[in-house]
Amino acid sequence: MNQRILELATRETRPLSERLKPRIAVEEKFARLGHTYRHGRLHRAFENYLARPLLKLALQGAGLYGRGMENALRPVVRELRLCFPNLPAGFDGFRILQISDLHIDGTDGLAEALCCVLSTIEADVCVLTGDYRFEDHGSCEEAYPLMRMIVSSIIAKHGIYGILGNHDPAEIAFFLEGTGVRMLVNESAEIRCQANASLALVGVDDPFDYRCHDLPLALESVPGNAFKILLAHAPELYAEAAESGIDLYLSGHTHAGQIRFPLIGSIHNNSNCPRAYAFGHWTHAGMQGYTTAGAGCSSLPVRFNCPPEVVLIELRKSESGL
């Protein structure tokens, strides 16, 4: 990319505890209810005592469980080159590393496998798009040392930015900021080049379950002419994002199904969006998006026809886009 020096623009911001107040209020409500908005007691009981055990038993009976576990420990680097006519020239060649859905304490050996991969990648900026622990309830303590390993392995010239997912309590944001990750909670961060052009990273809170996202608030201080990259845990905000002038939408959450079948792909995309937006590169009303299959596993530590991935996106300036 252009070798002109890029600088992170400094802005005054409220303390993280202030920014997380809406999220903490929802967590307190969940604690009183004994469940989340989408994952009630029956859903959790079904998942823990019926769905997971039956799927595991079926895979073991078919002799596939061990292979699925091996697949889950073979992360790949998905490389993309995305073209935009409105990308400022100073950001031509800018490289974004996206890591999502680690669920890092749910798959033994995953942290070590990912660290080996991440240590070979050099990016301009890294974005973490949520779901750092395996369960969506209980303690986070087992995830913390593994996440510290992951963060320390990331090579990103201009820093690491993160958002929260539907498995993440507010306390994870405090932990990650303590490791050097800048958490975006319905707010933005600006990256500016010497030519005074800017790129805005816009991060919203989880729109899937906690429903604390506020895109207008996140965009409040973003210059109108900035190139805008939205970080949202799930792809569900695609219509609102396009209407708000987002140029690139980065999300995860769906795991691309985690188990994909030949020809038909995944059976369930676990998100309120068109099927085409649940995995891979997509476009909507002139906005480009990428929904990653994620690096970790949900429910069971297995993958089939759907390798765990980290995504390296190179931004290029073009006359026509796409």
Q: Rounded to whole angstroms, how far apart are CA atoms 262 and 257?
A: 13
Residue 170's contacts (CB-CB under 8 Å, 6 or more residues apart) are 20, 23, 24, 27, 164
Which pLDDT band holds residue 3 (cuts at 50, 70, 90)? very low
Residue 320 has pLDDT above 90, yes or no: no
Query: Position 182: which residue type?
Result: R
Q: What tokens were used for 180?
A: 């050097």
Distance CA 226, CA 140 (A): 36
Contact by Cβ (8 Å): 13, 189: no
Q: What is the pLDDT of residues 96-129, one digit of tens each?
A: 999 999 999 999 999 999 999 999 999 999 999 9
Predicted confidence (pLDDT) at residue 192 exceeds the cutoff of 70: yes
* The pLDDT of residue 101: 98
Which domains, from first to last, does the chain contain? 19-317 (3.60.21.10)
- Say whether pLDDT at 7 is over 60: no
Q: What is the DSSP string of 249-277?
A: EEE-SSGGGSB-BTTTB-S---SSS-GGG
DSSP structure class, residue 10: P
What's residue 321's pLDDT?
Answer: 57
Task: Round the average pLDDT of the chain to a whole number and report it.
Answer: 92
Residue 255: per-residue pLDDT: 97
Q: What is the mean pLDDT of residues 187-198?
A: 83
